[in-house]
């Protein structure tokens, strides 16, 4: 497969992965461009691999991790005030999606990356470990912590209930 064929076939998928990782469309395009430039420089070697896409995906993830480590400050989404409407909101699904997106973006870098690779890219723990250069058990533990944090963000009573149990003893 030639490089331009690869980009035509997988380019948009890479941009979507970059978006889910970074939460920013422009940053996603930059990450994709950086990963593709890296792949282009080494394309003779990359195209001979069993799975060239795995190489480019890892380059994109590494670019995201590197950029996040370099950044000196992080933007945090503004929390919207709670609505005092007594009737159900017809846009409940949208707001729940938005709340989950905000919780995902607030996860620590490695946890967010593991969750995206697991549930967006549908990679198993062994593949995630290979992409991130970590042990498979670390990938599983990180996914477990991240899912617990997302559950707690979705239902604050989970955390409150845990604190209440702790205060009783």
Q: What is the DSSP letter of 87?
A: S
Determine what percent of the chain is predicted with pLDDT higher than 90. 59
Q: In the chain, which residue ranges form alpha helices assigned H by DSSP?
A: 3-22, 25-41, 43-47, 52-70, 92-106, 109-115, 125-132, 136-154, 156-168
For residues 79 and 114, which has the higher predicted lDDT (pLDDT)?
A: 114
pLDDT tens digit sequence for 106-119: 999 999 999 999 99
| Residue 30 reports pLDDT greater than 80 | yes
Nearest to 104 by CA among 137, 151, 68: 151
| CATH 1.10.10.10 applies to domain 97-169 | yes
Query: Residue 100's pLDDT is what?
Result: 83
| Residue 163 reports pLDDT greater than 70 | no
For residues 74 and 36, which has the higher predicted lDDT (pLDDT)?
A: 36
Query: Residue 86's pLDDT is what?
Result: 59
Query: Residue 71's pLDDT is what?
Result: 67
| Residue 67 reports pLDDT greater than 80 | yes
With vertex at residue 76, the alpha carbon angle to CA 87 and CA 19, rounded to the nearest 5 degrees, is: 90
For residues 79 and 24, which has the higher predicted lDDT (pLDDT)?
A: 24
| Residue 136 reports pLDDT greater than 60 | yes
Largest Cα separation within the chain, whole Å, is 65
Domain boundaries, the chain: 1-70, 97-169
Going from the C-alpha of 139 to that of each of 94, 100, 124, 133, the distances in angstroms are 30, 21, 9, 10
């Amino acid at each position: 497969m030639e490089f331009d064929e690869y980009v035509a076939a997988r380019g948009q998928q890479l941009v979507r992965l970059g978006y889910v990782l970074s939460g920013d469309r422009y940053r996603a395009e930059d990450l994709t461009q950086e990963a593709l430039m890296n792949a282009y420089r080494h394309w003779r070697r990359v195209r001979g691999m069993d799975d060239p896409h795995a190489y480019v995906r890892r380059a994109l993830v590494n670019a995201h991790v590197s950029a996040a480590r370099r950044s000196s400050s992080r933007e945090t989404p503004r929390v919207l005030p709670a609505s005092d409407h007594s009737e159900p909101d017809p846009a409940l699904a949208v707001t729940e999606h938005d709340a989950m997106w905000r919780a995902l973006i607030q996860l620590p870098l490695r946890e967010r990356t593991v969750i995206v690779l697991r549930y967006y890219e549908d990679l198993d723990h062994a593949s995630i470990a290979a992409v991130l250069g970590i042990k498979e058990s670390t990938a599983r533990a990180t996914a477990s912590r991240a899912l617990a944090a997302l559950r707690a963000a979705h239902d604050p009573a989970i955390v409150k209930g845990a604190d209440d149990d702790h205060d009783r003893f």
